[in-house]
Amino acid sequence: MEKRIIARGALAGVIAGLLAFVFARIFAEPRIQDAIDYESGRDEAQEALDKAAGLSVSEHGGELFSRTIQANVGIGVGMIAFGLAMGALFAVAYTICLGRVGNVRPRTLALLLAGAGFLALYLVPFVKYPANPPAVGHEETIGQRSAYYLIMVLASVLFLILAVILGQRLRHRFGTWNAALLAGAAFVIAVGVVMAVLPAFGELSSNVAEYGHHATETPQPLRDPQGTIVFPGFDADVLYDFRLYSLGAQLLLWAAIGLLFAPMAERLLGNRPVRTAPVRETTPA
């Protein structure tokens, strides 16, 4: 049974990844190209300033893959592979939760679990560390940013699991609705504490003397020695659109996984609430 569930989850993930790729290709990819164009123009302006100051200019190596391949094959393969992995992970979590989270029908459980996956694995970390297009974020802080983002993901998943357990324990005392509210409040508070403790991206690069540029992760206007702006700062609209479309792609991915997997699970398990815990049989004395 578990193998059949995981296979269906993987299939739903592949289809969801394909849908997310189509969305990202239409909406997010143009914003990525805008960011790359900005980065190239800024590099050229910086090289011109360096040459005028008599500084040496480093040569840039050619790209291994063209932008056409990156924008189509690269993103496509990446999104489908990610969807496959998330679909399989979703199915594993589904088999664990099946029958252990109350009298929930298979279809309903699939939708709830997909929403939880989007919340814990993407939305909560996104609130603290939103996605950035090329040219936003310093190279010196990539390792730090990745580590803190991973901490945020792990904390979000852990607190969500603990919130579910807490809700189950409070359900008999306060009722299902009140228990869900209390568990949700505990989750929000715990996540908020972690967000407050972890540093922001700008704080990670606040040592201007070490890195030689502004503390903010978003590029500011480039100025010459006289203070004249020779190249503008990064377009805030491009950054906003990229983050919005990144969020939309992930929302579409998880919604598709839940909506595709739900009828598969219902056909496999039936429409009744399922309990995997063994039931003790009593024998007459």
**Would you state the structure tokens that stand for residue 215, as one six-digit string?**
């503390």
Residue 51: the pLDDT is 81
Residue 94, CA distances (Å) to 107, 112, 114, 208 in order: 11, 10, 9, 47
Alpha-carbon distance of 253 to 82, in angstroms, equals 10
Question: How high is the pLDDT of residue 210?
Answer: 38
Strands (E), 144-254: 222-223, 229-231
* Helices vs. strands in the chain: H and E counts, helices first: 11, 2
Return d(Cα 10, Cα 90) in angstroms, integer: 8
Task: Write out the chain's pLDDT in tens, 285 residues.
Answer: 788 999 999 999 999 999 999 999 999 999 999 998 998 888 888 888 878 777 776 665 556 666 677 767 888 899 999 999 999 999 999 999 887 776 788 899 999 999 999 999 999 999 999 988 887 877 777 888 889 999 999 999 999 999 999 998 998 899 889 999 999 999 999 999 999 999 887 544 434 333 344 446 788 888 888 888 888 888 999 999 999 999 999 999 999 999 999 999 988 887 666 554 444 444 443
Over residues 16-65, the pLDDT tens digits come to: 999 999 999 999 999 999 998 998 888 888 888 878 777 776 665 556 66
Q: How far is CA 279 from the centre of its chain?
A: 39
Q: What pLDDT shows up at residue 214? A: 40
Taking only the tens place, the pLDDT of each residue in 113-134 is 999 999 999 999 999 999 888 8
Domain ranges of the chain: 1-58+66-136+233-277, 137-217
Cβ atoms within 10 A of the Cβ of 156, count? Answer: 25
Q: Residue 103: what pLDDT?
A: 76
For residues 103 and 273, the answer to whether their CB atoms sit within 8 Å is yes
